[in-house]
Amino acid sequence: MVLFSPPYFPQSASTSVVSFLALLLSGRVFIKYWNARHSSLNAIPTIGHSGILYSYLTAMQWMSRGHNLLQEGYEKFGGRPFKVATPTRWIVVLSGKRYVEDLCKASNDMLSFNEPAIETTQGDYTFGPGLHLHPHHIETIRSSITRNISTKFDDISDEALAALHDYIPHSEEWVSIPAYETLLHLVCRTTNRYLVGLPLCRNIDYLYISEQFTIDVSITAQKINSFPDILKPIAGSLFSVNVKARIKAAQDILAPVIAERLEQYRRFGLQHDALEKDVFTWLLESATHDYHLSVEDIVRRILVINFTSIHTTAVGLIQAVYDLAVHPEFVEEMRQEAERVIGEHGWSKASLHKMHKIDSFLKESFRLNGGANLLMIRKTIKEWTLSDGTVIPPGTHVGVAVDAMNKEEGFRFAEMVEGADALISAKQSLVTLSPEYIVFGNGPHACPGRFLGVNNIKVMFIHILLKYDVQLEDGSLERPSNTYFAASTIPNQEAKLRLRKRAVL
């Protein structure tokens, strides 16, 4: 019989190992302490607690009070840079035109967009390695996805109408709908009609995956991020099971279409007329490596495009419809504009550009209730000196307190559509980037999908505006409150909307 016994370490050897590890640990703690004491971060004022230990008290509040901390810092330091402790690191918070311009001017070897983005999503474990290495899908969004909006405008509009028909009970009376859920479904179907086309965009399982993928990735990344770097590979493989299952389920649905498209591409190349104008072809157009031409890689990139587009677009639409419900005084003015432009120029992408009042309304809605209260997050690669002389050490996360910066003024629709301001708003539309208006970020990494997102929001918003009277459930004019979580702003998920079909159409 073999007796299993614990491995034998002579007493002195095990004591030496323990002493060595303890020495290593205290060395690390000492280096961290020394670096913290001598970091140039200490010269930047702090909101909340700043001591090496006390800062953890603020870090613990970040998840529930991040929004308040940013607002308090913005007010206390009058728009000058400040820092705030979060559970994983210090973040240096900037605000205002001057610092946004500093961010935009900094080169890619000074500030990294990708590092914090990969960290936040734990992309290597969630999306899978390779996606960030050659992110050609961003080129797909910048080129083909943006270029084809005009050509496929009728499809987008058709799907928005079909989805409204399916999701809103048919009645001549007022009907009540859960706002968040219904508008999210509407966005998901409309966006996917453009991306993957019929019949996939109505496949319930595919739609469910498209909506859930963002949530799965966010939850998984949070779990992985709660582990120290050294344990992340283990946490990554343990916690990414759900995301992997979701990718596999998407692959089961999309594989036949992708396999057929790849076959057509190999036989005829990209010039073949029979190649549909959709995301499958567009991804082939911007592919740069052989592995991009595989079913698995294409599925992952379609999910990532959904990840970047569905919830961002839905937040924009939901907040805009809440604003519509609480600002009945602007409804007639916008309806008249939409009807006049459609009457004179038809219903097309070009016509949307002529609807300045609707653009201004949406711009205000986006400005006051975006999807995040900290944007343009970057990580310093080298020591970075701001234009006011503030020095930020390498390896620091910086971001812009967009919400605090935007909320200085209330809903400015009336001023924007009257007098001189109307001219300004016509020139600076919702998609125009500027250092004062950063809902789509700014600089080299400004949102490449904003043209599609805004086009789709306008199409859905205008259909709702023209087809329905919209109220909050009890006719209340009080805007449904947002939920704030760390740096995210989530539109109210409980509010109900009352809709009544308009008699005129």
Binding site for heme: what residues are annotated?
A: 447
Q: Which window, 40-48, 59-67, 267-275, 443-451, contacts ligand HEM (CB under 6 A)?
A: 443-451
> Using CB under 6 A, which of the segments 93-101, 252-260, 283-291, 440-448 binds ligand HEM?
440-448
Task: Give dist(CA 338, CA 178) in Å, integer.
Answer: 26
What residue numbers does the annotated binding site cover?
447
Q: Which stretch binds ligand HEM (CB under 6 A): 168-176, 203-211, 324-332, 447-455?
A: 447-455
Q: Residue 27 and residue 97: Cα distance in Å, rounded?
A: 42
Residue 317 or 472: which CB sits closer to ligand HEM? 317
Segment contacting ligand HEM by CB under 6 A, of 65-73, 224-232, 357-365, 448-456:
448-456
User: Which of 243, 299, 386, 439 is the binder for ligand HEM (CB under 6 A)?
Assistant: 439
Interface residue with ligand HEM, options 86, 190, 360, 442 (CB under 6 A): 442
Least Å from the CB of residue 130 to ligand HEM = 16
Least separation in angstroms between CB 331 and ligand HEM: 22
Binding of ligand HEM at residue 376 (CB under 6 A)?
A: yes
Q: How many amino acids of this chain bind ligand HEM (CB under 6 A)? A: 27
User: Which residue in the set 316, 393, 480, 491 belongs to the binding site for ligand HEM (CB under 6 A)?
Assistant: 316
Name residue 471's beta-bridge partners: 498
Q: Does 454 bind ligand HEM (CB under 6 A)?
A: yes
Q: Give the whole-angstrom CA distance, residue 446 versus residue 453.
A: 13
Q: Any idea how long the chain is?
A: 505
User: With contact defined as beta carbons under 8 Å apart, do 39 and 393 qualify?
Assistant: yes
* Residues sharing a CB contact under 8 Å with residue 286, sequence separation 6 or more, in sequence order: 136, 137, 139, 140, 143, 144
Tokens 């499809």 sit at which residue?
155
C-alpha to C-alpha distances, 65 to 93, 95, 279, 439, 483, nearest whole angstrom = 15, 19, 39, 21, 11
Contact criterion met (CB below 8 Å) for 84 and 48? yes
Question: How many angstroms separate the CA atoms of 287 and 289, rounded?
Answer: 6
491 vs 1, 216, 311, 483, CA distance in Å?
A: 67, 19, 11, 6
Asked whether 397 and 383 are in contact (CB, 8 A), the reply is no
327 sits near ligand HEM (criterion: CB under 6 A): no
Site for ligand HEM in 8-67 (CB under 6 A): none
Min. distance of Cβ 402 from ligand HEM in angstroms?
Answer: 8
Count Cβ atoms below 10 Å from residue 440 Cβ, excluding itself: 22
Asked if 445 touches ligand HEM (CB under 6 A), the answer is yes
Q: How far is the CB of 116 from ligand HEM (least distance, A)?
A: 9
Phi and psi (nearest 5°) for 153?
A: -60, -40
Query: Out of 349, 450, 458, 479, which residue is the one contacting ligand HEM (CB under 6 A)?
Result: 450
Residues within window 274-313 making contact with ligand HEM, judged by CB under 6 A: 305, 308-309, 312-313
Answer yes or no whether residue 399 interacts with ligand HEM by CB under 6 A.
no
Q: Where on the chain is the footprint of ligand HEM (CB under 6 A)? A: 113, 138, 141, 145, 305, 308-309, 312-313, 316, 371, 375-376, 439-443, 445-450, 452-454
